[in-house]
Structure 1
């Protein structure tokens, strides 16, 4: 079969489409004929051997697919690797039934990005009605869904950061009440100003560097910051527990991999997200469907932050 295979670590130039042996499912695994494979920022980190877990070569990247099983069931599924391919083997407990009304892009968007946004809103940060919520990188795959899920959860005010006027316009169309350029020098003051002069209750943060510290400083008493990524590749300054005590603030981390220990909850979360899309309560922002043969260009655009919404690969091209 055709697949994207890494044989060395590096920039976009190291990803290449090759002919590789078909995967063979073992016990508890499903073989999926892939119609679309999701592309995530984490894939670029894995390509550079900079992701949270250890990476061994050779490797077929890609952690999410939608397609059909051997017996004809339509599923969306997640795995640690192997998605950028015509066929993929996935753990059975990480495969979710896809309603017929849900298109392939939406089905994939609700996996790593949708489930992360859902978990951040409903579990890690615990957004409650009336909360003010800041979503960093609001035009991205997770951010564009988190803005809407925060609104659907009853947030009193949703503030999104985005790096260009076009992206800020997009997040406003998704329901953000205010937008902020994350490059603003005094981000703490800008976030509070966007919240009508008040500190904020919740921050969903995936940029790192100074953005993390200045976002913590913007928190209200009992505020919560959920850290789930570091797109800038710059470590934030250390957080002082004493400083958190002064604010009665909470800083937490989230990695979706740990949520797979709760397969029943993830299945319910996926079904909830799918129902919101089908019901018109949740809009999927498509970042484009690209031939798998253009994977290098896709990775370069993703890492250069030139994409919005969900980007997918078509393994048939």
Structure 2
């Protein structure tokens, strides 16, 4: 691994923010730290950046320990949620600031600034001040400033959370394009699973200061290991083995990867087929139109279910329907809600 964190521990008094967390980032990889507020993801980012000190463990870059290296000497680029641009400097001056304080020649600074303004598609704003820019434009400039110095690692601390939905989606695509074109190893903190799914090569899902599961977006979505990951990575129908048998009586009986009392089935809404049938074993209770899909709330013999369908749908509220499910659509996950989160480790 290019960047490695081994058994990172951080406490604040009696509160353990990180409990022996280990992660790795490869060259050119885009990794998202995903989890709810207070799970430890920003604490981990700050430790990597050198903005906080480890209480235990190691942080290594290409095998060299960073623990005694101050933040300014780690060579990392950081983009915060709050933009943090210098209000009295122009856009060009903000982008070139890091190069200027490193003693880079003025002509090289100008060339690099021009190049980055083209990269973030804002060449016309070089002489503007931050106060004259929109939130999305300011965040683009903050990104350009962070990568101007050719950082060894790019760290992003929820850079999109202060933006509205349309701008957030556009800038998300821009960040991915810039990261791919430059090949900078990137670690991004987010609580938004849609962002993580769209951006990441690897997602590290955290809860209560530990890594619960890590893997590709596809793996975490389709093969979560715990109830927490299943629920956090999108909408899930979580059913006991008995409820699965009642909701889908034609489904071949399959045993979960452990005792049924410790596992529940995770079934994604789009995996359930639904067909109007007067003699069906379920009833459509509510339908929400969401543009490219319809979300149905269905009362089944196994309990309430959420179903998603695309295109026009013949179902109406109050209709009786027949539900279908492929035999491999159930993923059995550990029912971890009653357990100490520190016991659930990747």
How high is the TM-score relative to the length of structure 2? 0.24
**Which structure has the greater CA radius of gyration?**
2
Kindly indicate which of the two structures has a greater share of residues assigned to strand: 2
